[in-house]
Chain A
Amino acid sequence: MSSVETAADAQSGFGARLTSLGLRELTLIPALLIVGFVGWLNNPAFLTSDNLLNILQQSSELSILVIAETLILLLAKIDLSLESIVGFTPMLGAWLISSDPSLGGSGLGLNPALAIPIVFVTGALIGALNGFLVVKMRLSPFIVTLSILILLRGMTLGLTNGTTLFDLPNSFLYLGSAKWGSVPASIWIAALLYLLFGIGLRYHRIGRALYAIGGNSEAARVAGIQVDRIVWGTYIASGLLAALAGLMLSGRIASVVSSQGQNMIFYVFAAAVIGGVNLNGGRGRLVGALTGVLLLGVLQNVLTLSQVPTFWIDAVYGAIILLALIFARLTGDRAEDV
């Protein structure tokens, strides 16, 4: 009892009021505006619709991975393998399509209409394997998904001996390159998924079950929630989302690089956590995670436009993520949240 009261005691002021109104998610918006303003001062090109769409398009794959990771984090689980699914599944698809073994392909020349479903099914199967190992074998999610991450990275390299696959059919690249109206399809897709999953987390039984399980999985089981089935299903869903993100990324850069997706998982976690998703499960919202993604995307863009030396961009990036975390704490997160 007293620990709760202490926690309530410790938080006060403006941020606390935001939190209590359920608006913790909005605390990143001032930071977002500040970064944008600085970017505009440095280079007025920042505030053009081309550039803003560019930021959104470049963030679209990351944003979809963040949905996937948020679902998993809400369950108080973890999935490190997402970034390797981003690399492996499109690589497998492209490899099956390619008819020229000398360029690293399989020589099978598979029809894209078959290869694209295979990309998604593979993503789902990898998710199902993660889920099996976590749910049925009771292995630690961290080490399971880390192993899968390493395994898939290796398989991605092994499949093509580390080469990049080019000359892919347009249908394979469609999701990442098409425009619907004047806006890239990938932005539409990401926006739609955020809407869908955002509403689902709030108003669907399964969405609420994720919060229940993450808060207290034993109590959720007693309350009649089928915990194992939902955890397993969530891993499958996040594998699917990661495959989608992979296909979109390949489409955007019109090739599959053997290092595709590498290091993305760090930015996935950074975006989710500065967006208020709790690593201990049960707390966080998709709106918040989205502001996290946008902050990272805008930041990356501003750093590039401001001509920060290329080799220093990552360091500056890391420092600013750290600042964002501290900022989020000062403006309202409870001590245990980050």
Chain B
Amino acid sequence: MQPAAVEVRNVSKAFGAAQVLHDVSLSIPTGVSRGLVGRNGAGKSTLVSILTGLLTPNSGKVIFNNVEAPAQRTSREWRNKVACVYQRSTLVPTMSVAENLFANAYPGNPTWVNWSRLRAAAREICEEWELGVSVDTRASDLRVEQRQLVEIARALAKGARFIIFDEPTAALESKEVARLFERIRRLKREGVTLLYISHHLQEIYDICDSVTVLRDGCVIVPGADVADLPKEKIVEAMVGEQIARSSRRPPMLPAASTPALSVKHLSLAPMFHDVSFDIAPGEQVGLAGLGGSGKEQIAEAIAGLLTAGSGDILVGGVRLRPGHVPTAQLKGVSYVPRDRRRRGILPQLSVAENLTVSIQRTFGRFGWIAPRRLEASARQLFSALSIVASSMRQPVVELSGGNQQKVVIGRALASSPQVLVLVYPTQGVDVAAKEAIFDIIAAAQARGAAALIVSDELDELRNCQRVLVVFKGAIVKSFGADSSERDLIAAIEGVDA
């Protein structure tokens, strides 16, 4: 029998008091593509770090093709055995595609760079993988999709036969996802072993042969054929209990004469033009569209982060000052950005301060902050959102992704806003946190807040009473709650159904 391409034997890892991996063992036969799923904090990232040699386990070992992984974890040998495509780029942004492809291992003479040889070798790889970019393009100018391809090609050029994909589709559009899957299937045909991590279970069924489920640092399912493991079973293994998936009913509120949010003929060239819509108090409306359709920019204009070229935004009938975040907040608009790491959390500040940063003006006169009032206000949100942290004083950067997202959403709710603008509010969080976030939004709606969900994930749009579809900067269609998913997707993609 052929040896397993990679085998993890009894690996345990603890960070201080926190045991992150308990006696984890798994083995992936050569040429198999294995899915790895688990909730946030299940230990996936730690396992990946151990597999790629970034972390040393406290006990246990990693074996590649019957050979124990080298002890020297930074060695080139290790890098040549396994490669990882992360959500975030691992290319050197200021260097060309050619240089990135052969980073630190230039063809020919190892000391001096032979530029013409380097570029020729790179061009060959680019053609083979149909990268469609010049080898002289700087990595920072690549699209996410191209960047990932360069990373895959680089791994293969180094001779890696085992590639880890860590949520590669998080920043891709559906067409790009399809193309990525096409390439992943080609890798499989060529006998490359894959470990594929994703929050989207459907993707696991699309491209994986088998699946491993982690929960709380333990292997729950060591490796089962995807055919034998329906979605509910996977979710059950991830969560440990059956979670009811329900779509929520909108709250019954008396009809209001003034819309909570009214957007009138809003334009900002070249991103969006003549956008108009109203949202009633208590209503939840989706704003769907492809990446680059302008939906996120419309949301930013409402939040005051972008200044629209023309048009008006009214909250409760009052016109907002364009491009000014503090007045938008004062008038009752709260915004939850998509990229919580880059735009959401204030990493070194405590959970309490992160929750209350937008309402500090209410904690005292002349800008002074009464610590007790801050604490009281934060505690209320902290428990209402069931944020998991050692204390409210813990720096927010130390929380898990799902809890960070709850903090960012909690901040948006702190001011009891009339309008909640949420951009991909559940992206990258686990199933349970997702449900909790939907509950939080529903509670705000019941209070009379209008919610605008900016997303193209049907799962995030499922509670909306209406979904507006943005295509190339304009609202092209509106769907009621009862319309078919297929029509909605067709409109998002811009194909006539």
Tell me whether A and B are bound partners: yes
**Which A positions have Cβ atoms within 8 angstroms of B?**
1-2, 4-6, 8-9, 12, 203-206, 208, 211-212, 214-216, 218-226, 282-283
Q: Which of B20, B348, B368 contacts A5 (CB 8 A)?
A: B20
Q: Which of A1, A8, A216, A226 contacts B346 (CB 8 A)?
A: A216
Closest to A218 in B: B343
Q: Is B112 part of the binding interface, using a Cβ–Cβ cutoff of 8 Å? A: no
Q: Is B108 part of the binding interface, using a Cβ–Cβ cutoff of 8 Å? A: no
Chain B residues whose C-beta falls within 8 Å of the C-beta of A6 in the assembled complex? 15, 55
Q: Which of B345, B358, B371 contacts A224 (CB 8 A)?
A: B358
CB atoms of A219 and B344 under 8 A apart:
yes
- A219-B345, A222-B305 are contacts. A212–B16 as well, Cβ < 8 Å? no
CB atoms of B349 and A211 under 8 A apart:
yes
Chain B residues whose C-beta falls within 8 Å of the C-beta of A206 in the assembled complex? 367
Chain A residues whose C-beta falls within 8 Å of the C-beta of B398 in the assembled complex? 4, 8
CB atoms of A216 and B367 under 8 A apart:
no
CB atoms of A222 and B18 under 8 A apart:
no
Interface string of B346-374 (1 = CB under 8 A from A): 11110001000110110000011111000
Q: Which of B329, B348, B400 contacts A215 (CB 8 A)?
A: B348
Quote the shortest CB–CB distance from A93 to chain B (angstroms).
32
Interface string of B407-447 (1 = CB under 8 A from A): 00001000000000000000000000000000000000000
CB atoms of A205 and B369 under 8 A apart:
yes
Quote the shortest CB–CB distance from A248 to chain B (angstroms).
28
CB atoms of A223 and B357 under 8 A apart:
yes
Chain A residues whose C-beta falls within 8 Å of the C-beta of B369 in the assembled complex? 203-205, 208
CB atoms of A211 and B345 under 8 A apart:
no
Chain B residues whose C-beta falls within 8 Å of the C-beta of A208 in the assembled complex? 349, 353, 357, 360, 369
Q: Is B490 part of the binding interface, using a Cβ–Cβ cutoff of 8 Å? A: no
Quote the shortest CB–CB distance from B331 to chain A (angstroms).
12
Quote the shortest CB–CB distance from A74 to chain B (angstroms).
10
Q: How far is the CA of A12 from the CA of B16 in the complex (A)?
A: 9
Q: How far is the CA of A205 from the CA of B362 in the complex (A)?
A: 10
Given A1-B401, A282-B348, list of 15 further CB < 8 A pairs?
Answer: A1-B400, A5-B46, A8-B16, A8-B398, A203-B370, A204-B369, A208-B353, A208-B369, A211-B346, A211-B349, A218-B342, A219-B343, A219-B344, A222-B305, A224-B325
Q: Is B45 part of the binding interface, using a Cβ–Cβ cutoff of 8 Å? A: yes
Chain A residues whose C-beta falls within 8 Å of the C-beta of B348 in the assembled complex? 211, 214-215, 282-283
Q: Is B335 part of the binding interface, using a Cβ–Cβ cutoff of 8 Å? A: yes
CB atoms of A5 and B15 under 8 A apart:
yes
CB atoms of A204 and B368 under 8 A apart:
yes
Q: How far is the CA of A197 from the CA of B1 in the complex (A)?
A: 71
Chain A residues whose C-beta falls within 8 Å of the C-beta of B328 in the assembled complex? 224
Q: State which residues 302-358 of B face A: CB under 8 Å.
A: 303, 305, 325-326, 328-329, 335, 337, 342-349, 353, 357-358
Q: Is B54 part of the binding interface, using a Cβ–Cβ cutoff of 8 Å? A: yes
Q: List 9 A-B contacts (CB under 8 A).
A: A5-B16, A204-B369, A205-B368, A208-B357, A212-B346, A215-B346, A218-B342, A218-B343, A222-B344
Quote the shortest CB–CB distance from A329 to chain B (angstroms).
18
Chain A residues whose C-beta falls within 8 Å of the C-beta of B346 in the assembled complex? 211-212, 215-216, 219-220, 223
Q: Which of B54, B303, B397 contacts A4 (CB 8 A)?
A: B397
CB atoms of A204 and B367 under 8 A apart:
yes
Closest to B371 in A: A203
